[in-house]
Structure 1
Amino acid sequence: MSTYHLQTVFRPRSVAVIGGSPRDRSAGRAVIRNLRAGGFAGQIGWVSPRYAEIDGMRTVKKLKDLPWIPDLVVITVPATLLPQVVSQAAELGVAAAIILTSGLGKGPGSLAAQVEAAARPKGMRVLGPHCLGVIAPHARLNASIAAHTPQAGDLALISESSAIAAALVEWGVARSVGFSAVVSLGDALDVDFGDLLDYFASDYRTRAILLYVDQISDARKFMSAARAAARAKPVVVVKSGRKPRGNGELVSTHSQSLADSDAVYGAAFNRAGLLRVNALDELFTAAETLGRLGTFPGRRLAILSNGGGVGRLAVDQLQALGGSLAELSPATVAQLDKALPQGWSRDNPVDIVVDADGGRYASAIEALLSDDANDAVLVINVPTAFTSSAEAAQALTTTLGQRSRQLRDKPVFAVWLGNDDRATVTLNTARVPTYPTEAEAVRGFQHLVRYREAQAALMETPPSLPADFVVDVPAARALVEAALANDQQWLDPVATHKLLQAYGIPSLEVMVARDPHEAMDLAQPLLEQGMSVAVKIFSPDIPHKSEVDGVRLNLGSLRAVQAAATAILQRARELRPQARIEGVLVQPSLTRPKARELIAGIADDPVFGPVVVFGRGGTAVEVIDDKTLALPPLDLRLAHEVIGRTRVSRILKAYGDVPAADERAVAMVLVKLAQLAADIPEIRTLDLNPLLADRNGVIALDARVAITPVKRLHKGRGHPRFAIFPYPTEWERTIDLSDGGKAFIRPVRPEDDGLFRAFFARVTDDDLRLRFFQSVKHFSHEFIARLTQLDYARSIALVAIDPKTGEMLGAVRLHADADYNRGEYGILIRSDLKGHGIGWKLMQIMIEYAGWLGLNMVEGQVLRENSTMLAMCQSLGFKVKADPDDSTIMNVTLPVGGVKS
């Protein structure tokens, strides 16, 4: 239901509390006290059957006894009464309920299920149960059991844990950090992370969103909402429940073993553009930073201190976190030489000497703020007998207040050691983010750097896929379907080799020998060609061949092959007497002395579905644990980013007499694996280990593929197991144009940057103004990225392409609202191609897509002067009405059920 009725949760006109007593520990009484103390201006009602008056406030016995219907109810009654109370509220038309009560249970027949059944048909939103409540300081609403009300600010906190939410409220009160809202989800019977991310992403009072996550229940909804929110504002997350391993169901491949739950969550957060921190204290640090600073284009930090040792510790911390220490420009050094006494450091960190007064601080701060060689400044004060911390704080804030407009966006961080209340008040009043230690300040700086880089990555254009990226999906699917029909859980080695061939992933040819004599027969042609031979155990019950000493390499004679096969079979039967031994595998031994051993594969997560795994390969892959994960689908940019997050990426570069490996070929394997997971959801886990990489490309020496009938993770359209809606191939088609020509229609891809730029060059200024409602002279990278990098779960952009020239002819776009109720469209056709029927065809396909997505309404805004578009809308069945707020605009709407063919 997403944002439906959430406005009444955070900005209700009236609130009723159901439950409560005069007891000191009464939850209902605590909520009423907070509502009254917070200054809520709307109506407040109290339902308490046993007491006519509490704390001087009259109560009523039943909700229907109130002379008005509340927007929001806060329920604190015992669990057994909840279904009845919720049913009564829903029947009255209450829009939303906050349930503080715990102990409702889960599953069919539970009290939780009864509450959901009572609320959902009436459209009543439920927050909780077992939650802290809601605080919305801008609305002067504290409908919670928190001890205090934080001041109004621009941080929204969403926490699964009531205790964490309460702790952050107390932290905010103590540090004068304000919140736009504080909300705890509790058991998240209805309102969840996805709903609240959607709400706060569009809330103008919220500049950054903080998340405390225990677990995600609806991964696709969360990822769609998180990606949308992260494009709009910073989202910081801390996740509890780290586990070394733990997907449990399938651990018989190296890839699955590497994909522990916490690593998968990390991959999901990274893919969504969220800033993940590791602990609550870091969440506090990030909140301090994001609450008071904007992002900035750089990563070079200048450090200023009156204590050389503390400054050097800050440098150590910066380097440990991978940060960049700024150089001082010659002009800045000269300026500081004039302002500072002899003995100052003349380098970064800038040590202005232990007896620095306010004037010396001001001069040094001004010089660093004006220096283009740094991107941010950290100011440290160490209290001494010679100086006043309060004076130094005043010098800092005064200098910041006097800086010019062009320098105003450069962030400044402060560390004031000691406990000087006057200094703290001065810095807090000026909204300078202040930290207790230099380590926390540097972490805060790095949080902003990482967030900015994540945002830049979201807007990058991936390199184009090569023209020979062709896969044979029917052949691959036939292999998997045949195996499933035989009740196989693993593809046999021959089928696995053919599967990889269908996706252009190089792998060694493999042959199956039932006994040592057959192994000799298969090896003979290879030996006659001068190759050496590898013999490996073949058993569906032995996933890791090395565990039974089941691999022999570089065999150069038939006698060696026979001896190896005999020994391997005997050893396997001794160590695994219950295993099904089907023979041995015979392959050519491949010798690439300067190749790197990698692992690439697909793992399966019970929450997020398929995950692509990459890292250092070999027999000790789990011990080395050099891996990174990514949620599919992937493009080449994302694949290169995955590779770059591993230690093994360093030795893919050239070193010594070893030439660089073909990193693009490695990246292509990851892209192909992601496509394989998209095309064949029956593949549950896949191992390429080792995957050898050198200057000549890549080749998989060993591969295993586990298969199972599809178990759907996600409701609705799209891939049944992907957390991210994949590229909708099913909407590719060829259409006939009115002039007898044809056009190929397909969804927009992230790599279409160049296609759009060439298209816009052939659209007139007037047509651009009619489409974007303003003159567009410059198409920035960010502008194009927002058109080409889509969340297909919510948006679709379809381009029409000339199949002969590859040129873009036009495009139509549809963006669904968070509730999947309405979708807003936009369309633009190349100016020299009007009248060819392209726009009409694109509009028809867009409307068809809206119905496929389940929307109820398609709507748009058209300039009144755009008579051609208005006429086409009317022909398609749209209703056209003047915009009540702007006489130059016409609003067009079409119920999807009333589409004209």
Structure 2
Amino acid sequence: MTIRNLEYLFKPRSIAVIGRGKKASGSDVTVQFNLIEGGFKGPVMPINPDQQSVSGVLAYRDIASLPVTPELAILTTSLDEAPTLISELGARGTRAVLLLSREVLQDHRGTKTALLSPDLLRKHSDDGEALKHKILEAAKPYLLRVMGPDHLGYAVPSTHLNASLSCTRPLAGHIALLCQSAAVMRSVIDWATSRDIGFSHVISVGMRWDVDFGDLIDYLLRDSNTRAILMYMENTHNRRKFVSAARAAGRIKPLIVLKPRDFRAGPIEDAVYDAVFQRAGILRVNNIEQLFSAAETLATAKPVYSNRLTLLSNSYSLALLTSDTLLRHGGRLAEISAATREQLARDCRPDYPIENPVDLGDMAGPEEYGKALDLLLQEPGADGVLVIHAPASVDRAMDSARAVIERAKNRRLIMSCWVGESSVEPARDLFRAAHIPTYEAPGEAVEAFMRLAQYRRNQELLIETPPSIPEGFTPDIETARRIIQIALTAGRRRLNAYEASQVLSAYEIRTVPLQFASTPEAASEIALELREPVALKILSPDITNKSEVGGVAFGLNNPLEVLVAAAGMLEQVHQLAPDAVIDGFAVQPMQSRHNAYELMIGVRTGRRFGPVIFFGQGGTEAEVIDDVAYALPPLNMQLARDLMSRTRLYRQLSAHRGRPVDLDAITLTLIKVSQMVIDLAEVIEMDINPIWVRSDNLLALDANILIETSTAPATQRLAISPYPKELERRYELPDGRAFLMRPILPEDEPELRDLVRRIPSEDVRMRFFQPMRELPHEMAARLTQLDYEREMAFIVTTPDSLPGKSRIWGVVRCNADPDMEKAEYSILVDRNMTGLGLGPMLMRYIIDYAKSRGIKELYGEVLRENESMLRLNRALHFRVSATPDDPGVLHVSLLLN
């Protein structure tokens, strides 16, 4: 990921527009006109050897003849010319290029067709891959950034930069828009302009050969003029960069995405995108109106903490319809206390029973709305109040709106819906001026409220502290890999039931004991030894669903029944699947399903985001029931529990109803499957179905594992960097005491907060530059829930103890910029451990880590009175210098690599 030189794309001081041809029309003319008409303050220099001037501006013959070095160059020439031009521009000092290529091809009949940038690459046999490589190689020596290829461009209204071919100039505002479709971007600009909605940036991302969604999100995250980021996206190239950037931005600014569902890719792929958006804290919407409505709502509305809404209206019918919409969208009507209901009845509508929705009657005016709000806003059980006003016989819409606005200073969310057309528009203007979300229809308001609730839930997941793992597990990774490699060497892509059972056992997932039999006679002998009813299953790498071909038999009571069933099974399988290779049989003792729930857990590999983990209703009818949810690995206890909560099955498991279950056992199984994904690159698909779970145990009855050869590390295919276990180090002191230095985990939050509580307040001030008795949850979550792709923290803790139960003695961290050029470090060590060398040990380790990541400089800010830290810095050869802005703070830096 990198934002290097992106400022030259969006804040250039000089621009060159390079085109060809004698006609006074085309992309170069349009973009030149838009740049000038948009009011760009710097020089705009056309380069066109075929024209004397472009849009009234003197044209230059070539790059060398330019009087000023262009920081940004816009190429409207053929893409085939781009590598040469980029080399010349880079040598001249240009740092950014926008490819706005449009070509005209003539077929054998003389018909001319205008090809836009994605289409024109079809004339290349490799879809332009070789050309892309040439362009990026030409840009690389100069660190020159390439935007596109594209056929619309971008605009930055706040700086009067309109480097686009759009005929409509976007208005200035604080919303950034990233669009993968130029047609959608044109439509959005027109839609927004007609509604007076402005933008900080409007960017058509094009084909993303260099600058992609991840880079742009990282850049906009740091742009003070951008308050929210909206995206229209159909796919993304670099999964890890996108997720990493989105997770970083999602903690600070609202990210809202409109992604159409690609039915050609199937429902699983779309469910994977939903899992990605949720993990990154992104809010997904379904149309352009919702895109901007969500941005406006998130920018103006007070936060909500759940999905409980109070409805206040002068029309019972409208309120009833609204409550129906709320329930259908998964929301809840807030509970109103009996005391408040009685007071509402006395003050607002005597002798009328008050419930939620609160019906004030069609004669209600500002007095009734005001009194009702005063009471409802004090109710602890509501996350917000939606105030609905319908035209009535005595219409006092403006006065009622003012009564609502007077209560807007309350900390609770107030939303308004004044139903009607032009007659109520002045009231809506009052709400907008007061920054109160207002909607034309109650259904829109409900949808906006539910988006607020979902956004809040996504944000909570980003900072929620997972509980510690209830028990440790040590997978036998080598055994699992050996089983998989034997199958791959034999040319098989699917493990048989016996092998799959061994892999699950290697990860301590309890399975039914299974014995292998090569013939019906061998299966009969095993049944004789077991002396109990057995299940018989065909073993074949070519058969996915054994039941469909008669490959399963249950409740066989004696060896003779097993012999007959096995012989009949072979005959039936040969008829229904004649090409299937039969390895033999699996013989298992029968299990009782008494009081057990049936579920399934598994893995799918998506096209864009790599492996995902699923959980849902199991059994033979799982596909028909279709109760399944997906999540990105790696998982912790909290993320695993959240995955479960997105299914209908979870409500059954949580409710008990006389059949309690061990939810922690299911959660831990999900974590074990997550670890399999991290460890075993060859596993691309897995179904553990069914799994029986009771109050006292969890049992996997069957598993289907699909494998393929892989040369890349397993972690490389993940969209989110997993916990880097390879960075753990164990240290022993001469006195025999041992310590473990390892990367920090989300589960470590309680112990990190305990470290801050028990060390002297002066040490805390030295670390955080402010007095602090307690580390707030939000800050502690941010310090422990790392994206290991761009930040790292190591702790010194007790070895052989579980996360969340390990006392922390010291912590050091470094946060790198998106370009991985510089990283800022910080360190905190328990004073009770001074003299053991923990501080120098942590500092040397973070220095070695930064070097291994290619970071060029490690730096920090140290208070002048922090003499011990300054002594350590000097001992490690840091350069110490004063900071001009604060004489009490010193800047320390160490050049690496």
TM > 0.5: yes
Measured in 1, the distance between the counterparts of 2:38 and 2:583 equals 74
Per the alignment, residue 553 of structure 1 pairs with 554
* Conservation of the 8 A alpha-carbon contact between 2:139 and 2:145: yes
**Secondary structure of 1:172's partner?**
helix
Per the alignment, residue 322 of structure 1 pairs with 330
Per the alignment, residue 781 of structure 1 pairs with 777
* Conservation of the 8 A alpha-carbon contact between 1:22 and 1:55: no
Shift of residue 31, structure 1, vs aligned partner: 2.7
Per the alignment, residue 281 of structure 2 pairs with 273
Per the alignment, residue 875 of structure 1 pairs with 875
Determine whether 1:299 maps to 2:307.
yes
Query: Are residues 398 and 84 of structure 1, via their aligned partners in 2, closer, same or farther at CA, if it must alter by over 3 Å?
Result: farther
Per the alignment, residue 574 of structure 2 pairs with 573
Per the alignment, residue 500 of structure 1 pairs with 504
Per the alignment, residue 250 of structure 2 pairs with 230
Per the alignment, residue 679 of structure 1 pairs with 679
Aligned residue identity for 2:745: R
Shift of residue 493, structure 1, vs aligned partner: 3.1
**Secondary structure of 2:4's partner?**
coil
Determine whether 1:99 maps to 2:99.
yes
- Per-residue CA deviation, residues 330-382 of structure 1 (Å, 9 max, x unaligned), is 67657755764668773433334335556665565565556555332323333
Measured in 2, the distance between the counterparts of 1:547 and 1:873 equals 69
* Conservation of the 8 A alpha-carbon contact between 1:127 and 1:190: yes
Aligned residue identity for 2:383: D
Determine whether 1:410 maps to 2:430.
no
Measured in 1, the distance between the counterparts of 2:352 and 2:171 equals 41
* Conservation of the 8 A alpha-carbon contact between 1:397 and 1:430: no
Determine whether 1:518 maps to 2:559.
no
Shift of residue 427, structure 1, vs aligned partner: 4.0
Per the alignment, residue 169 of structure 2 pairs with 149
- Gaps spanning 5+ residues in structure 2: where? 102-116
Determine whether 1:620 maps to 2:621.
yes
Shift of residue 650, structure 1, vs aligned partner: 2.3
Query: Are residues 425 and 44 of structure 1, via their aligned partners in 2, closer, same or farther at CA, if it must alter by over 3 Å?
Result: farther
Measured in 1, the distance between the counterparts of 2:591 and 2:206 equals 56
* Conservation of the 8 A alpha-carbon contact between 2:493 and 2:707: yes
* Aligned partner (choices 149, 152, 166) of residue 186 of structure 2: 166
* Aligned partner (choices 356, 380, 401) of residue 396 of structure 1: 401
Shift of residue 809, structure 1, vs aligned partner: 1.5
Aligned residue identity for 1:769: R
- Per-residue CA deviation, residues 514-569 of structure 1 (Å, 9 max, x unaligned), is 2211110111112x2xx211111111111110120211101112221111101110
Matches within 5 A, 1:151-550: 151-243=171-263, 246=266, 260-328=268-336, 340=348, 346-356=354-364, 364=372, 368-369=376-377, 373-383=381-391, 386-387=394-395, 391=398, 395-396=400-401, 399-400=404-405, 402-403=406-407, 405=409, 407=410, 410-420=413-423, 421-526=425-530, 528=531, 531-550=532-551
- Per-residue CA deviation, residues 44-92 of structure 1 (Å, 9 max, x unaligned), is 3333333333444333333443321222223323334333333332222
Query: Are residues 27 and 331 of structure 1, via their aligned partners in 2, closer, same or farther at CA, if it must alter by over 3 Å?
Result: farther
Query: Are residues 510 and 415 of structure 1, via their aligned partners in 2, closer, same or farther at CA, if it must alter by over 3 Å?
Result: farther
**Secondary structure of 2:698's partner?**
strand
Moved more, 478-487 or 840-849: 478-487
* Conservation of the 8 A alpha-carbon contact between 2:45 and 2:57: no
Query: Are residues 213 and 415 of structure 1, via their aligned partners in 2, closer, same or farther at CA, if it must alter by over 3 Å?
Result: farther
Moved more, 499-508 or 749-758: 749-758
Aligned-CA RMSD value: 2.7
Moved more, 580-589 or 23-32: 23-32
Identity %: 38
Shift of residue 111, structure 1, vs aligned partner: 3.3
Determine whether 1:731 maps to 2:722.
no
Shift of residue 232, structure 1, vs aligned partner: 1.5
Query: Are residues 299 and 687 of structure 1, via their aligned partners in 2, closer, same or farther at CA, if it must alter by over 3 Å?
Result: closer
Shift of residue 812, structure 1, vs aligned partner: 0.7
Measured in 2, the distance between the counterparts of 1:13 and 1:414 equals 46
Shift of residue 582, structure 1, vs aligned partner: 2.0
Shift of residue 398, structure 1, vs aligned partner: 7.1
Measured in 2, the distance between the counterparts of 1:739 and 1:159 equals 62
Measured in 1, the distance between the counterparts of 2:684 and 2:129 equals 33
Measured in 2, the distance between the counterparts of 1:804 and 1:707 equals 33
- Per-residue CA deviation, residues 641-695 of structure 1 (Å, 9 max, x unaligned), is 1111111122224555x41222211111110011111122222222211111122
Per the alignment, residue 639 of structure 1 pairs with 640
Shift of residue 429, structure 1, vs aligned partner: 3.8
Measured in 2, the distance between the counterparts of 1:813 and 1:184 equals 37
Measured in 2, the distance between the counterparts of 1:699 and 1:577 equals 32
Query: Are residues 28 and 412 of structure 1, via their aligned partners in 2, closer, same or farther at CA, if it must alter by over 3 Å?
Result: farther
Could you list the structure 1 runs, at least 4 aligned residues long, displaced by more than 6 angstroms after superposition: 20-25
Per the alignment, residue 796 of structure 1 pairs with 792
- Per-residue CA deviation, residues 586-615 of structure 1 (Å, 9 max, x unaligned), is 111111232122111122223222211211
Moved more, 200-209 or 17-26: 17-26
Determine whether 1:698 maps to 2:698.
yes
Measured in 2, the distance between the counterparts of 1:288 and 1:63 equals 44
- Per-residue CA deviation, residues 716-762 of structure 1 (Å, 9 max, x unaligned), is xx822111111111111112447764321111111112221332233
Query: Are residues 107 and 810 of structure 1, via their aligned partners in 2, closer, same or farther at CA, if it must alter by over 3 Å?
Result: farther
* Conservation of the 8 A alpha-carbon contact between 2:75 and 2:100: yes
- Per-residue CA deviation, residues 461-507 of structure 1 (Å, 9 max, x unaligned), is 11111344222223323333333344332334333222212211011
Measured in 1, the distance between the counterparts of 2:766 and 2:691 equals 53
Measured in 1, the distance between the counterparts of 2:66 and 2:355 equals 71
Query: Are residues 576 and 15 of structure 1, via their aligned partners in 2, closer, same or farther at CA, if it must alter by over 3 Å?
Result: same
Per the alignment, residue 660 of structure 2 pairs with 660
Aligned residue identity for 2:312: L
Per the alignment, residue 591 of structure 2 pairs with 590
Measured in 1, the distance between the counterparts of 2:30 and 2:734 equals 70
Shift of residue 33, structure 1, vs aligned partner: 3.6
Aligned residue identity for 1:410: L
* Conservation of the 8 A alpha-carbon contact between 1:383 and 1:418: no
Measured in 1, the distance between the counterparts of 2:347 and 2:651 equals 44
Moved more, 575-584 or 140-149: 140-149
**Secondary structure of 1:458's partner?**
helix
Query: Are residues 776 and 801 of structure 1, via their aligned partners in 2, closer, same or farther at CA, if it must alter by over 3 Å?
Result: same
**Secondary structure of 1:50's partner?**
coil
**Secondary structure of 1:752's partner?**
helix
Q: TM-score, normalised by structure 2?
A: 0.91
Aligned residue identity for 1:731: L
Per the alignment, residue 111 of structure 2 pairs with none
Moved more, 69-78 or 587-596: 69-78
Q: TM-score, normalised by structure 1?
A: 0.91
**Secondary structure of 2:15's partner?**
strand
- Gaps spanning 5+ residues in structure 1: where? 247-258
* Aligned partner (choices 732, 736, 742) of residue 738 of structure 2: 742
Per the alignment, residue 768 of structure 1 pairs with 764
* Conservation of the 8 A alpha-carbon contact between 1:177 and 1:291: no
Aligned residue identity for 1:766: E
Aligned residue identity for 1:440: E
Measured in 2, the distance between the counterparts of 1:563 and 1:225 equals 61
Aligned residue identity for 1:752: D
Query: Are residues 288 and 128 of structure 1, via their aligned partners in 2, closer, same or farther at CA, if it must alter by over 3 Å?
Result: same
Moved more, 124-133 or 538-547: 124-133
Aligned residue identity for 1:608: F
Query: Are residues 310 and 20 of structure 1, via their aligned partners in 2, closer, same or farther at CA, if it must alter by over 3 Å?
Result: farther
* Conservation of the 8 A alpha-carbon contact between 2:539 and 2:584: yes
Query: Are residues 92 and 335 of structure 1, via their aligned partners in 2, closer, same or farther at CA, if it must alter by over 3 Å?
Result: farther
- Per-residue CA deviation, residues 406-425 of structure 1 (Å, 9 max, x unaligned), is x2663434344323454454
Query: Are residues 602 and 804 of structure 1, via their aligned partners in 2, closer, same or farther at CA, if it must alter by over 3 Å?
Result: closer
Per the alignment, residue 255 of structure 1 pairs with none
Shift of residue 229, structure 1, vs aligned partner: 1.0
Query: Are residues 222 and 309 of structure 1, via their aligned partners in 2, closer, same or farther at CA, if it must alter by over 3 Å?
Result: same
Measured in 1, the distance between the counterparts of 2:656 and 2:413 equals 39
